[in-house]
A and B are shown apart, each in its own frame.
Chain A
Amino acid sequence: MAKATALKKVSRRRRILRGLSLLILALAATNLAVGTPTKSLLHRHAPAFVRHDLQGHSVRLRAYRGKVVLLNFWATWCAPCLEELPHFEAWQTRYARNGFQAIAVSMDDTDAPVRALASKLQLTIPVVMGDAPLGDRYGGILGLPITFLIDRRGMVVARFEGATDLDALERQVCQLLARH
């Protein structure tokens, strides 16, 4: 009788443990969905585009082949974006000689607030205006910020969504810069 009760307890415990494991796996999957490369773009050539920056200069993504490109989708009304941009600007200064290029694509509906903010932040990195077709080509920019890392061959190697761990992002940039 005592043995049967003990066996029942063990069995119940195992069921609980199994349930907890499944719960943790589900939570992990949810969490890892943030900051994971979009399946459709990962290890594929970054969709090409040609835009004009705020000064009217042509910005052609393909022209940066051979460099590590950080392509950041942002907007002036996006608070986490505004926290990231100064870092990307600083990285441009720090890593330019290693072959780094940051490009900021604004998803604002108009360029006036973008010009004002770029001036206020003294951005030197190219800032171009995005639109729905460009967002579609990058898998849908349906939340900001979203940042893609593109390696020297022009392949998308990472996608970060939402407020990003900037230390982790910088480490990944450095790893890509170390590859020639």
Chain B
Amino acid sequence: MPSLSKLSSLFSAACLLCTTLLLVPQARAQFSGAPPDSSAFSIPKADLIQPEALRALLQSGDKPLVLQVGSHIMFAQAHIPGAQYAGPGSQPAGLELLASKVAAAPKTQSIVLYCGCCPWNRCPNVGPAYHRLHDLGFTHVKVLYIANNFGQDWVGKGYSVEKGE
């Protein structure tokens, strides 16, 4: 009959193995390859906002301007309530649309950008969109950190969405 301490050690080892198996592929996906300058990784961590925090912010009275800078088809299927379409950030036309959306806003306007088309490390849109707003002089820009995609990290959490154009 194995002692409790042996069982405990075995269980701890199993825990470690399971956790590693579960997390390593995600970590590998996050950090594989050198990111280009305009990738999502180029956005300072201080300028990221987590889905939970944005949800709370939207429920408060101090709502930011939320802009979706990804695919329009995805925006039409589901988007954050009150968000406007301003993308795709990876294309010149998308960046022009983004600039036009904020043209009348003060430089201190609180803005949250998001995409969610792909895993964070593969998103082609949020990096260029963030840098464009920065270049335009906006000082309060945050980017919603979506680890996997909008379906999993927002809709899948039961957070509210709107449909349509």
Contacts and interface: CB of A to CB of B under 8 A. Distances in A.
Interface in B101-158: 116-119, 122, 124-125, 148-152, 155-156
Q: How large is the interface on A (under 10, 10 to 19, 20 to 34, 35 or more residues)?
A: 20 to 34
B71 A109 contact: yes
Contact of A75 (B18, B117, B152): B117
B74 interface: yes
Nearest to B154: A142
A10 B90 contact: no
Given A13-B8, A144-B149, A163-B29, A31 B118 contact: no
A108 B77 CA distance: 13
A162 B64 CA distance: 29
B119 A142 contact: no
Contact of B74 (A34, A80, A107): A107
A170 interface: no
A141 B12 CA distance: 39
Given A80-B118, A107-B71, A132-B73, A142 B124 contact: no
Given A24-B15, A79-B124, A143 B8 contact: no
Contacts of A161: 149, 151-152
Contacts of B124: 77, 79
Given A77-B90, A136-B77, A142-B149, A109 B72 contact: yes
A142 B118 contact: no
Contact of A163 (B71, B88, B119): B119
B76 interface: yes
Report, nearest first, the 9 A-B pairs whose CB atoms are least far apart.
Answer: A143-B149, A142-B151, A132-B76, A79-B122, A143-B151, A142-B150, A109-B72, A132-B77, A135-B77
22 contacts: A10-B4, A17-B8, A24-B19, A27-B22, A28-B22, A75-B117, A77-B90, A77-B125, A79-B122, A108-B73, A109-B71, A109-B73, A109-B88, A135-B73, A136-B77, A142-B151, A143-B118, A143-B148, A143-B150, A144-B149, A161-B149, A162-B149
Interface of A: 10, 13, 17, 20, 24, 27-28, 31, 33-34, 75, 77-80, 107-109, 130-132, 135-136, 140-144, 161-163
Interface of B: 4, 8, 11-12, 15, 18-19, 22-23, 26, 29, 71-74, 76-78, 88, 90, 116-119, 122, 124-125, 148-152, 155-156, 163
